[in-house]
Amino acid sequence: MHDSTPRTEFDFIPAQAAAIGVAVPRVTRLSLTLESGRTISALRYGDVAPVVTLLHGAGLNAHTFDTTVLAMGVPALSIDLPGHGDSSWREDVDYSPRSMADDVATAIAAWTDAPQLLVGQSLGGLTAAVVAARNPQLVRRLVLVDITPGFEQSGVGQVRGFLDGATDFASRDEIVERAISFGLGGDRESTERGVFLNTRIREDGRVVFKHHFANLGGLPSGDAGSRPVVPLRALWDDLDAVAVPVALVRGDRGYITDANNAEFLERLPGSASFTIAAGHNVQEDAPVELGRVLGEIAGTAS
């Protein structure tokens, strides 16, 4: 990969669509100015109102769901969480789920016209739970991807190790090699794509991550990538307040242990759980299978 190669964020999508044998939808970048003056950004897939909205995990961005959305084949919205992708950084550096939820809800209300299948992975899943609890009119079903308020936090160390240290790099290739050395990103092609979409070239030519965490020197300790105002387990209260059906999709090599899964099902009677052969970033390890399961949950699977 060469930093001088001219590319846009949409140039990868045709190859991703071809790889799974589906048509290429129209994908557009959206931006909304919030009352705070910050902006929130998203990707819209298709020409009609979204029926699915997706929220990514810490250190990722809206494009992480590209192949999953292509596999689902439905109009969708994938939002860059505050401090990630093309969304503004927060001056207070508060990326806890309860702090981000209102910004996300404002974006969903602006860009959709019907209750959504709301899907959130990792930090995005915890944020989605708060959104659903506070805004039942926006959500028809909630899906958490490899996360619960009681998740196994030991796995975060791998990502934290990758982000700790240098905040800028000589090239994107340097970041790709670092990601591979930490066992992140899948095969080289997908890692190169992920690094391209999650970085920008600074005016001095150095490459930096788009998300705020890396520019702060890495993930804070103690949770899934936010700076919590409350302990994560307190977010069970938000899940308890969700009035719509809730499902958990976990990777068999992810953060959710059998005990975590059992706790989820016990605390949320009537909920469902699905397991996919994948790590924590299920949407990157098994995007087509995740798309199939989400379609099954939504009732749109063929």
pLDDT, greater one: 43 or 2:
43
Q: Is the pLDDT of residue 154 over 90?
A: no
Q: What is the DSSP string of the chain?
A: --TTS---TTTTHHHHHHHHT-PPPPEEEEEEE-TTS-EEEEEEESSS--SEEEE--TT--GGGGHHHHHHHTS-EEEEPPTTSTTSPPPTT----HHHHHHHHHHHHHHH-SS-EEEEEETHHHHHHHHHHHH-GGGEEEEEEES--TT--GGGHHHHHHHHSS-S-BS-HHHHHHHHHHTT-SSSHHHHHHHHHHTEEE-TTS-EEESSHHHHTTSPPTTSSSS--SS-GGGGHHHHHT--S-EEEEEETTSS--HHHHHHHHHHSTT-EEEEES--S-HHHHSHHHHHHHHHHHHT---
Q: What's the confidence (pLDDT) of residue 157?
A: 58
Q: What's the confidence (pLDDT) of residue 44?
A: 98
Q: Which of 78, 96, 122, 226 is labelled catalytic? A: 122
Q: Is the pLDDT of residue 300 over 60?
A: yes
Q: What's the confidence (pLDDT) of residue 230?
A: 53
Q: In the chain, pLDDT over 90 holds for what percent of residues?
A: 78
Q: What's the confidence (pLDDT) of residue 184?
A: 74
Q: Is the pLDDT of residue 224 over 50?
A: no
pTM, two decimal places: 0.91
pLDDT band at 231 (very low <50, low <70, confident <90, very high): confident
Region 258-266: what's the mean pLDDT? 96
Q: What's the confidence (pLDDT) of residue 52?
A: 98
Q: What's the confidence (pLDDT) of residue 27?
A: 98
pLDDT band at 7 (very low <50, low <70, confident <90, very high): confident
99 catalytic? Reply is: no
Region 140-159: what's the mean pLDDT? 83
Region 53-73: what's the mean pLDDT? 97
Q: Tens digit of pLDDT for each residue in 74-100?
A: 999 999 999 999 999 999 999 999 999
Average pLDDT taken over every residue of the chain: 90
pLDDT band at 214 (very low <50, low <70, confident <90, very high): confident
Q: Is the pLDDT of residue 218 over 90?
A: no
pLDDT band at 228 (very low <50, low <70, confident <90, very high): very low
Region 277-296: what's the mean pLDDT? 95
Q: Which of 146, 223, 238, 285 is labelled catalytic? A: 146
2 catalytic? Reply is: no
Q: What's the confidence (pLDDT) of residue 219?
A: 55
Q: What's the confidence (pLDDT) of residue 47?
A: 94
Task: Please report the domains of the chain, with CATH numbers, ordered by start residue.
Answer: 13-152+233-298 (3.40.50.1820)
Q: Tens digit of pLDDT for each residue in 98-149?
A: 999 999 999 999 999 999 999 999 999 999 999 999 999 999 999 999 999 9
102 catalytic? Reply is: no
